[in-house]
Every structure is written in structure tokens, then in C-alpha cells.
Amino acid sequence: MMHIDLSSMLRQTLSCELYSNLVTRPTGAAVRTQIEALLADSRERSLTVIDFSHVGMIDFSCADEVVAKLLLHYVAAERADREAYFLFRGVTDDHWDAIETVLERHGLALVLETDDGARIVGMVNDGERIAWEKVYELGRAGAADLATALGSRPDDAARMLDTLHRRRLLMRLDDGYIAVGGLGEAHA
Amino acid sequence: MTSVITVPPSLDDHTFEQVVEQLASVPHDAKLLVDARHTRWASPYGLTALLTLGQTREERASFAVPEAEETASYWARTGFFTHAEEIYDLHGSVPKARGGESSVLLEITQVAKSEDVHEVVGRIQQKAQLILSKELNIDAKATVGFAMTLSEICQNIIEHAGRGGFVAVQTYTYRKRLANRRVVVIAVCDAGCGFRQSLESAPGFVRNDRWDDAAALEAAVIRGVSRFRDPGRGQGLAGVRRYIGRWDGKVSVRSGTAKIAIVPSWDDDVPLAEKLAPFPGSQVQVTIPERVSGGPRQ
């Protein structure tokens, strides 16, 4: 698992120790480019923690670059060669307004690490949320496990797992799925 | 012959129109004297707009500084003369800026590149938190939204103006309009290409019969249209509008010959003014009033 401290990356990007705010689109684009360069060297399946803990604030333009475009790069494209997953850490109310806005704008969702585990936020419907939470709770699940847990048909459960995987909210392993931020993160 | 532009005694976003109207008949390359000798008060918008006026001149203009010692001294503390001496030939007694001005959250600052926005946001955060919570009775958490608003408006200059502009943030008391309530005001002015020309540079742009400065402002400010095809663009001003709405604030944007405003109930400005005298670039003003009770509007 890779850990990216956005505050450190910001300071490297700007070559300045004084700034702790993720503001402006060019700054966001530069930070995202650095993240993508790091991921280019990663394995075919990777989980990266994007850590906001030491970021003062983020504005809409920067959030669009650092969060939305980063996710879009790995979610929208059918990238058979590489599966990149992201877990967002240290996101506070000071960051949330901007992040929520760009997730809504692009119809995206992500997994937030919280004090008591992880949760999905952004544009998800009730069915997706319930299914994700069930997989998170189960630790590792296939279509049959999810169908049993939700009382749904196996093919519906399989479609839901596939949808959540395509959105990079679930990681697909050989023998099932695990939630990003769930038990499996240590194996990524 | 030198054309003389008289600055009104009280200079704000409304009275600056008198300056622009006088300017309309003066050729760009004419000699110009901006006469502020009898000006007693200026808002951050007025001061930053005066600087951009100087930037629009082909020949370096002259500027007669306010005669009132108190006014000139205050303008010095806002940083006005530091920039004005780069733009104008100053005439009259220019006081040295001594000490900070407590009502000035951010003295007039030039914004030309991304790093300037970092500087502006970094400088304002701590002071803004204090002012918003202590003076304006606004939750300290609103500071982040305030800094985001400032950041997005400043970025407009970098992304669209094509040249640098000026930003200033100040608190003062609205005696008439808000019955002595305090407000914090952000003013960001540039003399760049303006909204219409910026949107016209969009790939595939097609002009229609109704296309003018007002239509461009409506598109950009209300509908979040951007000159970029990137669907992530246009969120900045939308975010500013949301923040303004939450805190019962006002935002107005002037560009070219039009001005658009999101007008709260406490203000009587018009939502859209057209056929104004032309002035280059864009001039933005955000006003957040003191809360009389509790949190944001739902």
C-alpha cells in the first residue's frame, strides 16, 4: 500500500515550505501529475492512501484536479492493465465542501477512512451504499455471499459487485471482492 | 491636452461608474489625470478599480492624491500608493504607510500567478477567522469557505484576464443599508480581456444575436459556463454563489458594459445592469454581512 501525504507533495510541487493549502488549478494539476507518476511505477493492482491530514484547506479548482480527475483517470477508463484504488485519509469539514462538490459534478464516489473504519461518500445510490457496507462488513464476499446477506438474486448481486468494482470502491480478488478500506487493504 | 477624471468624494462600486462614464469619451492614448484630491472615502472595490484604471492607459496617467490627510493616510495603510506609484505619476503629498490598519484583512495585493493566490490565502486565513467569528458573528468554520471564495475569484484573474489584477479584503460598517452592521468585503479587479472575450475564445464558440457582455456574465456567473471544454470547469463561481447564499451575502461582477449581481434582501442593487460605460476586464465584489442570529441559512 502506498501512502501519499498531500501536504508534503504540495510543498515539493511548489518548492515552498510555507504553504499548506491546496489552492489553484495549476497546483492541483501538478500534484495529481506527481501522484500519477508514482502510480505509473506501481503493480497492476495498487491501493494508495491519499492523506489530507496536514492540508489546511482545498478549493474547488484544486479538488477538481487532485480528487476528481485522479479518480476519473482510473475509474472512467477500462484499464485492464492496472487497477488503482484510493482510500482518502484525514478529510475534515475544511476539505469536504470542495470534495463533495467535485464528486457531485462528475458523478463520482470515494472511500473515506474514518475513526471507526471506512465509508463511501459522494454519488452513490442506496443500493450501492448498502451493498458496499455489506461487503465491508463481510470482509470478503462473492456474489452468492452478497445475495444471501442482502436477500437478493445472485445475478443482481454479481452486477452490483461489478458496478462497485468498476467505480473502484471494491477491489476484485481471485476469490471475491473486498471493500477499499476494508480487511483486504493489507494485501494490496 | 490632458483629460481630467474626477473621482467622487465617496468611491465604491456604484460611484466608480461615474469615473467610467467620464473615461468613456477619453481616447486610450490621451494624457489623463485622475483627480482624487477631494475624495474622502473609498471601498476596496474603489481602490483596486482605480489601480486597474491606470493599467488600461497606453500613456502613463497622472494621479492627484487625496488632500485630506486622514484619507491619504488610510489609503497608504491599505497599500494603495505602493501599487499606484508603479502605475501612475503621483501628484500631491503621499504619506508613508505607518503600521497596519486593523480593518484591512488583506491589503491591496497584486495577483498575477498561481503562487500569488497561495500567498493571499495563506495570509488571510488566521485574520479572517478572528474577524468572521468576533466581528461578524459567523461560525469560525466559515473561514474555510471564505478563503475558498477568495481563492476562486483570484484564480479568475489568472485563468481569464490575461494580465494581473488586484485584490483587497476589508471590514467596515454599513451604516445605512444594514443599520450599523459590520461587513467583510472582498474586491478583485483586473483590466484584462473580460468575460465576453474569454468565453468567445472557447473552442467552437458560436455568437448569437443576443451575445454581449450581459449574456457572457449570465453564462459564466449563473450557468457556470467556461471557455474550457473540461466538465470540471465553472465550479469556482458556482461555489462562490453557494457560499454567498449560505451567509446572506452579495456578489457582483462587472465586465465590459454589464454588471450582474446576486442580490440579498438587505440590498437594493439590480440583478443585471446593461449598457454601462465600457471598462476593460472584470471587477468582482463579495460582501458578507454580520450575522444577527445563529448559523447559515438553510
In the listed set B79, B101, B123, which residue is the last one of a domain according to the structure? B101
Which domain CATH number covers B28?
Answer: 3.30.750.24
User: Best residue in B150, B152, B226, B241 to probe A by mutation, most A CBs within 10 Å?
Assistant: B152
In this predicted model, which residue has the larger pLDDT, B103 or A163? A163
- Give yes or no: residues B219 and B287 share one domain: yes
Hey, CA dihedral for B197, B202, B203, B205, is it positive or negative?
negative
Tell me whether strands B165-174 and B104-111 are parallel, antiparallel or unpaired. Answer: antiparallel
Q: Are residues B78 and B143 in the same domain?
A: no
B83 and B174 share a domain?
A: no
**Could you give the percent of chain B with pLDDT greater than 70?**
97
Q: Mark whether B125 and B231 lie in a shared domain.
A: yes
Residue for grid cell 442593487? B269
DSSP state of B173: E
Is there a single domain that holds both residue B191 and residue B280?
A: yes
DSSP structural state of residue A141: B
Q: CB contact, 8 Å: A97 with chain B? A: yes
With an 8 Å Cβ cutoff, is A24 touching chain B? yes
Residue B282 and residue B230: Cα distance in Å, rounded?
A: 22
Same domain, B71 and B4: yes
> Which amino acid belongs to residue B141?
K
CA distances from A30 to A6, A65, A93, B111 (A): 12, 9, 24, 20
Is residue B16 located within the same domain as residue B93? yes
Asked whether residue B136 falls in the same domain as residue B63, the answer is no
Spell out the domains of chain A, with CATH numbers in brackets: 1-123 (3.30.750), 124-188 (1.10.10.10)
Q: Which of B101, B131, B152 is the last residue of a domain?
A: B101
Phi-psi region of A117 (alpha: psi -120 to 50; beta: other; left: phi over 0): left
Shortest distance, CA B279 to any CA of chain A (angstroms): 27
Report whether pLDDT(B4) > 50: yes
Residue B261, beta-bridge partner list: B252
The set of residues, in sequence order, having a beta carbon less than 8 Å from that of B155 and lying 6+ positions away, is: A23, A24, A25, A59, A61, B114, B117, B236
CB pairs under 8 A between A and B: 83
The CATH number that applies at residue B137 is: 3.30.565.10
Are B116 and B238 part of one and the same domain? Answer: yes
**Based on the domain organization, do B72 and B117 belong to the same domain?**
no
The domain total for chain B is 2
The last residue of a domain, from among B101, B127, B152: B101
For the ranges A3-17, A168-182, B153-167, B227-241, the maximum mean pLDDT occurs at: A168-182
Do B155 and B253 lie in one domain? The reply is yes
Interface of B with A (CB under 8 A): 114-115, 117-118, 121-122, 125, 141, 144-145, 147-148, 151-152, 155, 158-159, 231-233, 235-236, 238-239
Q: How far apart are the first and last CA of chain A?
A: 6
- A94–B144 CB contact, under 8 Å: yes
* pLDDT tens by residue, chain A, 188 residues: 899 999 999 988 876 666 789 999 999 999 999 999 988 877 778 899 999 999 999 999 999 999 999 999 888 556 556 789 999 999 999 899 999 999 999 999 999 998 889 999 999 999 999 999 999 999 999 999 999 999 999 999 999 999 999 999 999 988 899 999 986 554 44
Record the pTM. Answer: 0.87
Which residue range forms the structural domain that includes residue B93?
A: 1-101
Task: Identify whether residues B153 and B238 lie together within a single domain.
Answer: yes
